[in-house]
Amino acid sequence: MTTAPAQAGWRFKQPSVIPGFGLTLGFSLAYLTLIILIPLSGLVWRSASLGWTEFWAIATDRRTLNALEISFGTAFIAAAVNVVFGTLVAWVLVRYRFPGRRIVDAMVDLPFALPTAVAGIALTTLYAPNGWIGKLLMPLGIKVAYTPLGIVIALIFIGLPFVVRTVQPIMEEIDKEVEEAAATLGASRFQIITRVLFPGLAPAIITGFSLAFARGVGEYGSVIFIAGNLPYKSEIAPLLIVIRLEEYNYPAATAIAAIMLALSFVMLLIVNLVQTWSRKRYG
């Protein structure tokens, strides 16, 4: 995900000497239209059959709002947690050599490959009050399964690879000598992290965050098992869409989907702006 730096006026960047720019651009646009734009416009078109007042009624329905809040809120928290721990995992994988490193490296991708429903069932079994982890948390008064906390755990699980895999390659590019140079110039470790390492990594971290966040917002399979699915409490927006479909209420289902789409788009746009700003700021 890259954002073109702001340029003076609308001009195509000079294509490379290898021919084929017209063809590849044409193909890209056609492909994107077919795969993304047409389905999405179908979604908007179908919800447009509602009319504004009805659309507004669905959008401001308490249950819809609660579901959206839960979906976006838990995805945000999970993405934030993943940013911290995903960066840490990437750091360990890039900077240290230890036995079994390759296995750990491969393990990071498992949430990508695993069917999400399997992940959901496995996590629920672990965190249920009689599960291995749930049993330990129960005496502390922490309930994970069947609460929004469970949703966060599921989303952390499926979102981790997004952060690790976006941050890792950028981290590999950072020369160790830069840190050493900073150290010889008298920078403290904290200063090295905040002033030397972080600026270079920030765009990648933000990208990782937005990917993990976007994935979490739309996640269904791994969440419905651990969420408990109680309306107003732990009902995620994708489940509400499924419920509306079960009621054969296609316009309402697409309306909620369209709202999610718009919200996600705004969120990703903001993230992109922050990223552009951080690029300019830290270069």
Partner 1 sequence: MTKPHFRKLLGALVVTSVLSGTLGFAFADTTILNVSYDPTRELYKAYDEAFAAHWKAETGETVTIQQSHGGSGAQARAVIDGLDADVVTLALEGDINAIVSKSKKINPDWRKKFENNSAPYTSTIIFLVRKGNPKGIHDWSDLVKDGVQVITPNPKTSGGARWNYLAAWAYANAHDGGDETKNKEFVGKLYANAPVLDTGARGSTVTFAQKGIGDVLIGWENDAYLALDEFGADNFEIVYPPTSILAEPPVAIVDANVDAKGTRKVAEAYLGWLYSKEAQTIIAKNHYRPAKPELVAPADIPKTPDIKLISIDDPLFGGWKKAQPYHFGDGGIFDQIYKPAQ
Q: Tell whether residue 118 is a contact of partner 1 (CB under 8 A).
A: no
Q: Which of 68, 78, 252, 257 binds partner 1 (CB under 8 A)?
A: 252
Total of chain residues touching partner 1, rule CB under 8 A = 26
Distance CA 128, CA 135 (A): 8
Q: Tell whether residue 217 is a contact of partner 1 (CB under 8 A).
A: no
Smallest separation, CB 231 to partner 1 (Å) = 5
Distance CA 210, CA 166 (A): 11
- Any idea how long the chain is? 283
Q: Segment near partner 1 (CB under 8 A), from 21-29, 91-99, 207-215, 230-238?
A: 230-238
Q: Tell whether residue 55 is a contact of partner 1 (CB under 8 A).
A: no
Q: Tell whether residue 239 is a contact of partner 1 (CB under 8 A).
A: yes
Helices (H), the chain: 21-32, 38-48, 52-59, 62-95, 101-108, 110-113, 116-127, 132-137, 148-173, 176-184, 189-191, 198-218, 221-227, 237-246, 250-282
Distance CA 54, CA 148 (A): 29
Q: Which of 29, 230, 262, 273 binds partner 1 (CB under 8 A)?
A: 230
Q: Which of 81, 128, 192, 257 binds partner 1 (CB under 8 A)?
A: 128
- For residues 96 and 248, which CB has a smaller minimum distance to partner 1 in the complex? 248
- For residues 192 and 227, which CB has a smaller minimum distance to partner 1 in the complex? 227
- For residues 2 and 49, which CB has a smaller minimum distance to partner 1 in the complex? 49
Amino acid 24 reads T
Q: Tell whether residue 238 is a contact of partner 1 (CB under 8 A).
A: no
Per the CB < 8 A criterion, the answer to whether 121 and 87 are in contact is no
Distance CA 281, CA 283 (A): 6
Residue 128: helix, strand or coil by DSSP?
Answer: coil
Q: Segment near partner 1 (CB under 8 A), from 94-102, 124-132, 179-187, 272-280?
A: 124-132
CA distances (Å), 104 to each of 78, 86, 101, 143, 211, in order? 21, 13, 5, 29, 21
Q: Segment near partner 1 (CB under 8 A), from 15-23, 41-49, 181-189, 220-228?
A: 220-228
Per the CB < 8 A criterion, the answer to whether 55 and 47 are in contact is yes
Max CA distance (Å), the chain: 68
Q: Tell whether residue 224 is a contact of partner 1 (CB under 8 A).
A: yes
- For residues 81 and 243, which CB has a smaller minimum distance to partner 1 in the complex? 243
List of residues contacting partner 1 (CB under 8 A): 62, 124-125, 128-131, 145-146, 224-225, 228-232, 239, 242-249, 252
